[in-house]
Structure 1
Amino acid sequence: METTILIVGASGELGMHLVQESKKKGFKVRALTRSEEGFEKLREHTDDIWRVDASSEKNKLHDITKGVEYIVSALGKSISLFHPTPNSFYENNYKANANIIADAKRNNVKRFFYVSMKGADSASEFTIPRMHKKVEDELEKSGLDYSVIRPVGFFSGLDDLVIMAKRKVIPLIGDGQAKTNSIYHGDLANYIMTTFLDLPKLIEIGGPSIHTREEMAEMIQKHVGGKIIKLPTGLAKVGSNVSKLISKEQFGHKLSYFTYIMTHDMIASKRGFLTFDDYLQNVDLNEIK
């Protein structure tokens, strides 16, 4: 009998890579997505697709984990400033995952893998990492066997800068000297599924190369164009605080955390192969908008 794995947030960029890597490993894939668009994307990979809003349709989630040995959750609200998604970070990140965890506990799932983020424990004053930490805490008290994977950030997380570069401006907050080793979604998915049951309870993961934020902006400039403009950190913080008061889509919370990561080192153990420069060379700029 095939071993069944549930991929949560399966139609997202990381989720799609996880689906593909799971199939390579011989798993029978069950996929959870919220949208019709996501459903259509997944149809060529599996016929076991649940289209449910995990944050608000708990009754429809009943027994989604029945017959499932393992779960990998890449579920969470987009942090892009340009691509709003429904619901809040509380609903999409915490509540949705908590509902899956509850069903997994009832059905005695063998192991739950959760993709969180670096900063979940050290930057809890910000909404986004705080919601990831709440999921981590929910897993810890569930009694399930689990692993938490904290990437430092994804290359696609800088697609907002690519969009702005296409509009001729590349904003840098602060002096641009904060360092990071962001990772490609495909490399992280491959690492998770290759390491899998050997993963520890908690691991922080980055990509193969460490760069300053300014160096990454210069790479974007080389491939896309645009002028790099440095903005004072204080100005960005004022802007995010004002946005929190007027935005219904939590734009201010995104901008606030974006300011934090642009001005603090975000580095973890090196994994993967694709560099940010290679990513920019291969990405379809017409699709980033």
Structure 2
Amino acid sequence: MKKPNVLLAGATGYLGSYILKELLTNEYPTRIIVRHKNKIPELTPAPEIIEAEVTHPDTLSNAFSGIDVVISTIGITRQKDGLTYMDVDYKANVNLVNKALEHGVKKFIYVSVLNGTKIRDLKIGEAKEKFVDYLTASGLDFCIIRPNGFFSDMRDFLKMAKRGKVYLFGDGKLKLNPIHGEDLAKVCVSSIHLPDREINIGGPDLLSQNEIAELALAAYSKPVKIIHLPDWIRKLTLWTARTFTGSSTYGPIEFFLTTMVMDMEAPCFGTHKLEDFFREEARKQS
């Protein structure tokens, strides 16, 4: 059976690069949208590359011809180039949906975040969930992938551990199971053929924040020193950031500080271990 033609938006990002590799490994006819072709390494087989700006819909005209499925990982963690979460996480993805509708695309797969409906009051959550609303009302077949955090997001634990202490809010007993990009890419690509409209997903190991802190400290052969901070410090930090900084600064801060006191447990999947990731990252820095 002929595999569908896939358009991937966000191929140069952390997750997008793994999805691209997974698509090519499984021989999907693949086209990617990039701002600059020179950011894509030579690959065999090679994807078709379209230079375009997802924030400028007039540049997307040549990207959608013959496409059956769109996968979008478009989103920003830290605002830059004067662009906001609403500009990228919402409007840029809306541009992709509109072009998909114009060209008869059959399915749109979007990577959002676990518990997105619970963080709509955050700048990043507002933009992502507004787009989810737009996609679900568009008439396209769709799938929303909701990971609970990437291994790369856990580098904040490593940064603290390298200095010998990890600071947590509360008792550190809340659990999460972040997922490696390679494992998440398999979920994204498999969703092309799945009927699911929403997939919550995490990595194979469900760990408390205390356990993650211990793994990070162990990666640097540091003794276990975990400082549990009262919640009023978190709330004060949030208030201060929102009051005295712009959204480009406080957006990532409010997301991190809010999800750190949420249950971020998701169905377990994959083979990559956070412990191994921490050890490898620490080795690179030694």
| TM-score by shorter chain over 0.5 | yes
Matched, 1:237 2:235: yes
Matched, 1:263 2:264: no
| Count, aligned residues | 280
2:71 aligned partner, one-letter code: V
Please give the alpha-carbon distance, in whole angstroms, between the structure 1 residues aligned to 2:160 and 2:136.
Answer: 40
Matched, 1:21 2:19: no
In terms of mean alpha carbon deviation, does 235-244 or 139-148 score higher?
A: 235-244
Give 1:239 deviation, angstroms: 1.6
* Residues 40 and 211 of structure 1: CA distance in aligned 2, closer, same or farther (over 3 Å): same
Could you say which structure has the larger radius of gyration?
A: 2
Give 1:156 deviation, angstroms: 1.0
SS in 1 for 2:71: strand
Alignment of 1:62-101 (within 5 A): 62-78=61-77, 85-86=80-81, 87-101=83-97
Matched, 1:48 2:44: no
Please give the alpha-carbon distance, in whole angstroms, between the structure 1 residues aligned to 2:117 and 2:104.
Answer: 27
* Residues 23 and 284 of structure 1: CA distance in aligned 2, closer, same or farther (over 3 Å): farther
Matched, 1:30 2:31: yes
Please give the alpha-carbon distance, in whole angstroms, between the structure 2 residues aligned to 1:211 and 1:199.
Answer: 30
Please give the alpha-carbon distance, in whole angstroms, between the structure 1 residues aligned to 2:279 and 2:85.
Answer: 32
Alignment of 1:178-257 (within 5 A): 178-224=174-220, 227-248=225-246, 250-257=248-255
Residue segments in structure 1 that go unaligned for 5+ positions in a row: none
Please give the alpha-carbon distance, in whole angstroms, between the structure 1 residues aligned to 2:271 and 2:175.
Answer: 18
Give 1:253 deviation, angstroms: 2.3
Q: 1:177·1:263 contact (CA, 8 Å) conserved in 2?
A: no
Find the counterpart in structure 2 of residue 166 from structure 1. Answer: 162
* Residues 162 and 105 of structure 1: CA distance in aligned 2, closer, same or farther (over 3 Å): same
TM-score with structure 1 setting the length: 0.88
Task: Give CA-to-partner distance per residue, 1:167-205, whole Å, 9 cap, x none.
Answer: 444221222111111111110101222353114011111
* Residues 2 and 199 of structure 1: CA distance in aligned 2, closer, same or farther (over 3 Å): closer
Give 1:2 deviation, angstroms: 6.9
Task: Give CA-to-partner distance per residue, 1:18-70, whole Å, 9 cap, x none.
Answer: 00000112112211233x4xx33424133522333312x22112242222111
Cα RMSD after superposing both structures: 2.2
Find the counterpart in structure 2 of residue 59 from structure 1. Answer: 58
Give 1:237 deviation, angstroms: 2.1
TM-score with structure 2 setting the length: 0.89
1:22 aligned partner, one-letter code: L
Alignment of 1:87-126 (within 5 A): 87-126=83-122
